[in-house]
Structure 1
Amino acid sequence: MNGLRIELRRSTALWAGLLVLVSSTGMLLLTAAGTSWQGNSTSAVLELRPPLAYVWALVVGLAVLQGMRDGRSGVTELFSSTSRPGWVRLGTLASAVAGVVAVATGLLCVGLVAVVAISGGFVSIGFVPLMVTVVLALASSVMLGIAVGRLLPHPLTVPVALVSTFVLATAAGQELEVQSPDAEVSRLALLAPVLDPPGTDLVTTSTSVDIGQIVWFTGLGVTAFLLLVSRFPGARLAALLPAGLAAVLALTILPNKISDVLVTDSIAGELVCDGPVCLSRAHEDRLPAVAAVGKEVLAKLAVLPDAPTEVREDTSAMAHLAAPQRNGKIVYLRSQGAAGVLTMSPEQQRIELLAGAGVAGCSTPNTFDISESVVLHLTAGYFNNGLAALPSEPLMWSSDRLRGEIETAWRALRAQPAPEQLNRVTRARQMLLACNDSEGVLDVLTAA
Structure 2
Amino acid sequence: MTGLRIELRRSTALWAGLLVLVSGTGMLWLITSESARWTGNSTSAVLELRLPLAYVWALVVGLAVLQGMRDSRARVTELFTATSRPGWVRLGTLAAAVAGAVAVATALLCAGLVAKVALGGGFVSAGFVPLMVTVVLALASSVLLGLAVGRLLPHPLTVPVALVATFMVASTAGRALEARSPGDEISRFALLTPVLAPPSTDLVTMSTSVDLGQIVWFTGLGVTGFLLFVSRTHLGRLAALAPAGLAIAAALAIMPVKYSDVLVADSIASRLVCDGEVCVSKAHEDRLPAVTAAGRAALAELAVLPDAPKEVREDTAAMAHLTAPQRDQRIVYVPSLGIPRPMTMTEDQLRLELLAGAGVASCEGPNTFDTYGGVVRYVTAGYFHGELAELASEPLMWNNSRLRGEIDEAWRQFRGHSAQEQLNRVAQVRRMLLACEDSERVLGVLKAA
The TM-score, its normalising length taken from structure 2, stands at 0.99
Secondary structure, counterpart of 2:357 in structure 1: helix
Q: Deviations over 1:239-258 (max 9, x none)?
A: 11110111111111111111
Give the residue type in structure 2 aligned to 1:28.
Answer: L
Q: Tell me, yes or no, if the aligned pair for 2:182 and 2:322 is still in contact at 8 Å.
A: yes
Q: Tell me, yes or no, if the aligned pair for 1:274 and 1:291 is still in contact at 8 Å.
A: yes
Q: Match for residue 390 of structure 2?
A: 389
Q: Match for residue 78 of structure 1?
A: 79
Q: Tell me, yes or no, if the aligned pair for 2:379 and 2:411 is still in contact at 8 Å.
A: yes
State the alpha-carbon separation in 2 of the partners of residues 218 and 32 from structure 1: 31
State the alpha-carbon separation in 1 of the partners of residues 82 and 12 from structure 2: 25
Q: Match for residue 208 of structure 1?
A: 209
**Which stretches of structure 1, 4 residues or longer, exceed 6 Å deviation after superposition?**
none
Task: Using the TM superposition, give the Cα deviation of residue 335 of structure 1 relative to its aligned residue in structure 2, in angstroms.
Answer: 2.6
Q: Deviations over 1:137-162 (max 9, x none)?
A: 00000000000000000000000000
Task: Using the TM superposition, give the Cα deviation of residue 337 of structure 1 relative to its aligned residue in structure 2, in angstroms.
Answer: 3.7
Q: Match for residue 156 of structure 2?
A: 155
State the alpha-carbon separation in 2 of the partners of residues 104 and 337 from structure 1: 35
Q: How does 1:183-202 map to 2 (within 5 A)?
A: 183-202=184-203
Q: Match for residue 379 of structure 2?
A: 378
Q: How does 1:87-98 map to 2 (within 5 A)?
A: 87-98=88-99
Q: Match for residue 322 of structure 2?
A: 321
Change in Cα spacing, 1:96 to 1:200, as seen in structure 2 (3 Å) is same
Change in Cα spacing, 1:337 to 1:96, as seen in structure 2 (3 Å) is farther
1:280 aligns with 2:244: no
State the alpha-carbon separation in 1 of the partners of residues 391 and 180 from structure 2: 25
Secondary structure, counterpart of 1:190 in structure 2: helix
Give the residue type in structure 2 aligned to 1:11.
Answer: S
Give the residue type in structure 1 aligned to 2:416.
Answer: A
State the alpha-carbon separation in 2 of the partners of residues 187 and 388 from structure 1: 48
Q: Tell me, yes or no, if the aligned pair for 2:20 and 2:106 is still in contact at 8 Å.
A: yes
Q: Match for residue 165 of structure 2?
A: 164
Change in Cα spacing, 1:257 to 1:339, as seen in structure 2 (3 Å) is farther
State the alpha-carbon separation in 2 of the partners of residues 357 and 337 from structure 1: 19
Give the residue type in structure 2 aligned to 1:74.
Answer: R
1:306 aligns with 2:307: yes
Q: Deviations over 1:165-222 (max 9, x none)?
A: 0000011011112221221110111101000101222111111111111110000001
Q: Match for residue 129 of structure 1?
A: 130
Q: Tell me, yes or no, if the aligned pair for 2:313 and 2:331 is still in contact at 8 Å.
A: yes
Task: Using the TM superposition, give the Cα deviation of residue 237 of structure 1 relative to its aligned residue in structure 2, in angstroms.
Answer: 1.1
Q: Match for residue 26 of structure 2?
A: 26
Give the residue type in structure 1 aligned to 2:149.
Answer: V
Q: How does 1:240-279 map to 2 (within 5 A)?
A: 240-279=241-280
Q: Tell me, yes or no, if the aligned pair for 2:281 and 2:314 is still in contact at 8 Å.
A: yes
Q: Tell me, yes or no, if the aligned pair for 1:90 and 1:229 is still in contact at 8 Å.
A: yes
Give the residue type in structure 2 aligned to 1:160.
Answer: V
State the alpha-carbon separation in 2 of the partners of residues 430 and 235 from structure 1: 70
State the alpha-carbon separation in 2 of the partners of residues 244 and 41 from structure 1: 34
Figure out how many residues of one structure are paired with residues of the other and give that number: 448
Q: Tell me, yes or no, if the aligned pair for 2:203 and 2:316 is still in contact at 8 Å.
A: yes
State the alpha-carbon separation in 1 of the partners of residues 23 and 269 from structure 2: 29
Secondary structure, counterpart of 2:356 in structure 1: helix
Secondary structure, counterpart of 1:196 in structure 2: coil
Q: Tell me, yes or no, if the aligned pair for 1:200 and 1:337 is still in contact at 8 Å.
A: no
1:120 aligns with 2:109: no
Q: Match for residue 367 of structure 1?
A: 368
Q: Match for residue 58 of structure 1?
A: 59
State the alpha-carbon separation in 1 of the partners of residues 85 and 315 from structure 2: 62
State the alpha-carbon separation in 1 of the partners of residues 365 and 447 from structure 2: 24
Q: Tell me, yes or no, if the aligned pair for 1:20 and 1:104 is still in contact at 8 Å.
A: yes
Q: Tell me, yes or no, if the aligned pair for 2:337 and 2:366 is still in contact at 8 Å.
A: no
State the alpha-carbon separation in 1 of the partners of residues 368 and 115 from structure 2: 37
Q: Deviations over 1:53-83 (max 9, x none)?
A: 0000000000000000001111111101111
Q: Tell me, yes or no, if the aligned pair for 1:314 and 1:325 is still in contact at 8 Å.
A: yes
Secondary structure, counterpart of 1:142 in structure 2: helix
Give the residue type in structure 2 aligned to 1:238.
Answer: A
Secondary structure, counterpart of 2:264 in structure 1: strand
Give the residue type in structure 1 aligned to 2:408.
Answer: E
State the alpha-carbon separation in 1 of the partners of residues 404 and 91 from structure 2: 71
State the alpha-carbon separation in 1 of the partners of residues 337 and 361 from structure 2: 14
Q: Match for residue 3 of structure 1?
A: 3
State the alpha-carbon separation in 1 of the partners of residues 171 and 75 from structure 2: 36
Secondary structure, counterpart of 2:178 in structure 1: coil
State the alpha-carbon separation in 1 of the partners of residues 431 and 213 from structure 2: 43
Task: Using the TM superposition, give the Cα deviation of residue 345 of structure 1 relative to its aligned residue in structure 2, in angstroms.
Answer: 1.2
Query: Gapped runs of 5+ residues in structure 1?
Result: none
Q: Tell me, yes or no, if the aligned pair for 1:199 and 1:337 is still in contact at 8 Å.
A: no
State the alpha-carbon separation in 2 of the partners of residues 256 and 386 from structure 1: 49
Q: Deviations over 1:300-322 (max 9, x none)?
A: 00111111000000011111110
Secondary structure, counterpart of 1:93 in structure 2: helix
Give the residue type in structure 2 aligned to 1:199.
Answer: S
Secondary structure, counterpart of 1:122 in structure 2: coil
Q: Deviations over 1:34-53 (max 9, x none)?
A: 33111111011111100000
Task: Using the TM superposition, give the Cα deviation of residue 113 of structure 1 relative to its aligned residue in structure 2, in angstroms.
Answer: 0.6
State the alpha-carbon separation in 2 of the partners of residues 219 and 303 from structure 1: 63
Task: Using the TM superposition, give the Cα deviation of residue 339 of structure 1 relative to its aligned residue in structure 2, in angstroms.
Answer: 3.1
Q: Match for residue 179 of structure 2?
A: 178
The TM-score, its normalising length taken from structure 1, stands at 0.99
Q: Deviations over 1:381-404 (max 9, x none)?
A: 111111111111111111111111
Secondary structure, counterpart of 2:380 in structure 1: helix
State the alpha-carbon separation in 2 of the partners of residues 335 and 119 from structure 1: 20
Give the residue type in structure 2 aligned to 1:9.
Answer: R
Q: Tell me, yes or no, if the aligned pair for 1:32 and 1:47 is still in contact at 8 Å.
A: no
